[in-house]
Amino acid sequence: MTSTLTRWRAPAGYALGALLLFAVAPALLSDFRLGQLARYLCFAIVAVGIALAWGRGGMLTLGQGLFFGLGGYAMAMHLKLTDAGAGQLPDFMLLYGDTSELPWWWEPFRSPAVALAAVLVLPMGLAALIGYAVFRRRVRGAYFAILSQALAAAFAILLVGQQATTGGTNGLTNFQGFFGFSLLDPVNRRTVYFLIAAVLLLLMIGVRQLFLSRYGELLVAVRDSEERVRFLGYDPALVKLVAYVLSAGTAGIAGALFVPAVGIISPALIGIVPSIQFVIGAAIGGRASVAGAVIGAVAVAWAQTTLSEEFPAAWTYFQAGLFIAVVAFLPGGLVSLRRLLARRGPRVAEVPA
Amino acid sequence: MTVYLSQSFTGISIGAVLLLIALGLSLTFGQMGVINMAHGEFIMAGAYTVYMLQGPISDAGVSLLLALPVAFLVAGAMGALLEWLLIRRLYARPLDTLLVTWGVSLMLQQLARDVFGAPNVHTSSPDWLSGRLTLIGGEDPLTLAYSRLFILGLAVAAVAALTLTLRRTPLGRRMRAVVQHRDLAEASGIATGRVDRLTFFLGSGLAGLAGVALTLVGPIGPTMGTNIIIDAFLVIVVGGIGRLRGAVVAAFALGVLQAVMEYSTTVSVARVTVLIAIVAFLQWRPQGIHTLRTRSLA
């Protein structure tokens, strides 16, 4: 009886999630609210990657904003170039005025295929480079966290400094079309929402399958006892690298989808603070569970928008307090409450010591 | 020629600021292994102490000098309180400490916003720090700002005081004993919990001193801590944990590198280059410049 229940619980959960995302939310929410939900779902996609890298892999990636930004800017550059038309410069470059021709590294993004590939290749490639360098030398724990945070900070600073070619603090905004569809048309904006919801569900299912695979077991083993895994003959650096690169890829996808959904990508969305915000959602919901991280990310983003509009100061105290309480006293996140209440031991160790 | 000299002095003064803000971390992160993200907000507390003292005490020089011990005590007390409330429960989970203290830093920033307002505030610096010392006169002069020299002096004094404390006092001996072997220290009758709190008090107090120094070179605001804390952590990562010497070398090396790169490129490119240099350096010495030799596998 219990085994049948356990076997069907996850698929039933996903079916319920799909029903909520594809039928209930579009039916109940106004276009404006649906647009906001699309934005939260982008954060949820990042959270899926964080559950993989941090929850299961033990790598606290405080710099997901870097990969989110790479994906976002790759998409935004393509959209800007398409809006401008063949041979023309994007509007902001004309505004800042000191560039007479397109910089060479903008040129490839004219092609939709290159831009779409870049959304994945840039974050994953960079993550592979950093990860290889860092994990091979066994830099880990807090060192890795600080390093990844510094990378996100440096990327944001770099973007701000190059205003003429990246839009600086303002970022890239005012997108008219998305692969031939006008973003001004509410129907197309709904379609973007459905696209984001579909990508989120697919990634959740994919990462969950990864957790259940032999690789998922190995990843948890590396998280809990890296030395023991090394002595068993595996290469922990490689195991961690795969998880880190995949999580960078999901963040890149999230960034790319964020651009048409919200209509802006700017350094303020990818620096230190937003990068930690990504982690907060996953931590509150449940870092080691895909569903927990996603629900946490959506809930925190939703609460932030709704509550911070009315009580900006109180919201900061509440969010910080909740975050402190959950991380300090409930490291498995809110999803682990259920298990605590049911007085059953956790099936997978939730958090490394 | 003087360009290089003045540029390297700029680097040294950047390094002195880095060293001051990283010195407290070399105790809390380097010695105890606690990643305290609220360290930047303790720096902020030190800076606001100067601002507060300038209200009743109009003489900028007196209030600055008086702020040094007061800021040390204020920030130190905040640190000890944080250690007692939260951190001591989390010694076994360093990454969670990082996140929890980040939550604390969010709260403290909001508190600063509520108390002092969101815009930056300014303090007046004393007359005797406003001039510049001329080393080489003439057409191509080399001058050093007194405020930078003051910070350099403060950093050197703080390093000296900390070294003496660690090497020569009973407290320092106990602190080193706890770092080297906690269980053995405890078995020898050292109250490790109290030593932890005192270490944290000292480290956070040093953050307060750094905050006082920062009022001389920049504005005071609720987010000032966030902007510098990463650099300070990078100093410790490069310097290697457990040794003061590493932090000193790393702070000045990063400062000079930053200044040289800023001179030849832009500020933003310089930051990225410094970061790439750090990642490359960690390839060569993953444990930092200096490190305690241990028999652990890491």
DSSP per-residue codes, B272-291: HHHHHHHHHHHHH-TT-SS-
Q: Taking a C-beta distance cutoff of 8 angstroms, is the pair A251, A267 a contact?
A: no
Asked whether the beta carbons of residue A320 and residue B106 sit closer than 8 angstroms, the reply is yes
Q: What is the pLDDT of residue A351?
A: 54
Q: How far apart are CA A58 and CA A245, in angstroms?
A: 14
In the predicted model, is pLDDT for residue B75 greater than 90? yes
State which residues form the domain around A111: 19-341
Q: For A145, left (φ over 0), alpha (ψ -120 to 50), or beta?
A: alpha
Closest CB from A139, A313, A327 relative to B100 = A327
Number of domain units in chain A: 1
pLDDT in tens, chain A (353 residues): 456 667 787 888 888 888 888 888 888 888 888 989 999 999 999 999 999 999 999 998 989 999 999 999 999 999 988 888 777 788 887 777 666 677 888 888 888 899 999 999 999 999 999 999 888 888 777 788 888 888 898 888 888 888 778 888 888 888 888 887 888 888 888 889 999 999 999 999 999 999 999 999 999 999 998 989 999 999 999 999 999 999 999 999 999 999 999 989 999 999 888 898 899 889 888 888 899 999 999 998 888 888 877 777 788 888 888 888 888 888 888 888 877 776 554 455 455 54
Please, what is the average pLDDT of chain B?
85
For the record, the structure tokens of A130 come out as 């950093």
Asked whether the beta carbons of residue A138 and residue B298 sit closer than 8 angstroms, the reply is yes
Residue A146's closest CA among B258, B169, B288?
B288
Collapsing DSSP states into helix, strand and coil, what is residue A182? Answer: strand
Residues 6 or more apart whose Cβ sits within 8 Å of residue B32: B179, B196, B199, B200, B203
Q: How far apart are CA A123 and CA B27, in angstroms?
A: 35
Residues of chain B that touch chain A, judged by Cβ-Cβ distance less than 8 Å = 29, 33, 35, 86, 89-90, 92-96, 98-100, 102-104, 106-107, 109-110, 113-114, 226, 230, 233-234, 237, 266-269, 271-272, 275, 278-280, 282-283, 286, 297-298
Residues of A in contact with B278 (CB under 8 A): 147, 150
Q: What is the pLDDT of residue B297?
A: 45
Whether A72 is in a domain gets the answer yes
Q: What is the dihedral of CA B266, B268, B270, B274, to 10 degrees?
A: 180
For the record, the structure tokens of A258 come out as 């964020």
Asked whether the beta carbons of residue A157 and residue B35 sit closer than 8 angstroms, the reply is no
Q: How far apart are CA A35 and CA A271, in angstroms?
A: 23
Provide the greatest CA pair distance for chain A: 71
Q: How far apart are CA B11 and CA A249, in angstroms?
A: 38
Q: How far apart are CA A27 and CA A21, in angstroms?
A: 10
Asked whether the beta carbons of residue B269 and residue A158 sit closer than 8 angstroms, the reply is yes
Instruction: Supply the DSSP string of A211-234, one letter for each residue.
Output: HHSHHHHHHHHHHH-HHHHHHTT-
For the record, the structure tokens of A128 come out as 């592979």
Collapsing DSSP states into helix, strand and coil, what is residue A13? Answer: helix
Closest CB from B98, B113, B272 relative to A142 = B98
Whether A93 is in a domain gets the answer yes
Q: What is the pLDDT of residue A17?
A: 87
Whether A290 is in a domain gets the answer yes
pLDDT in tens, B191-220: 888 998 999 999 999 999 999 988 888 888
pLDDT in tens, B122-152: 887 787 777 777 777 666 677 778 888 888 9
Q: Taking a C-beta distance cutoff of 8 angstroms, is the pair A345, B110 a contact?
A: no
ipTM of this complex > 0.85?
no
Residue burial B63-93, b: 16+ Cβ < 10 Å; e: rest: bbebbbebbbebbbbbbbebbeebbeebeeb
Q: What is the pLDDT of residue A353?
A: 43
Q: How far apart are CA A187 and CA A176, in angstroms?
A: 14
Residues 6 or more apart whose Cβ sits within 8 Å of residue B80: B197, B198, B200, B201, B204
Whether A269 is in a domain gets the answer yes
Residue B177's closest CA among B295, B292, B289?
B292
Q: Taking a C-beta distance cutoff of 8 angstroms, is the pair A272, A153 a contact?
A: yes
Residue A252's closest CA among A82, A114, A46, A56?
A46
Residue ranges of domains in chain B, CATH in brackets: 2-284 (1.10.3470)
Q: How far apart are CA A261 and CA A193, in angstroms?
A: 7
- For CA atoms A222, A225, A231, A237, the dihedral sign is positive
Collapsing DSSP states into helix, strand and coil, what is residue B134? Answer: strand
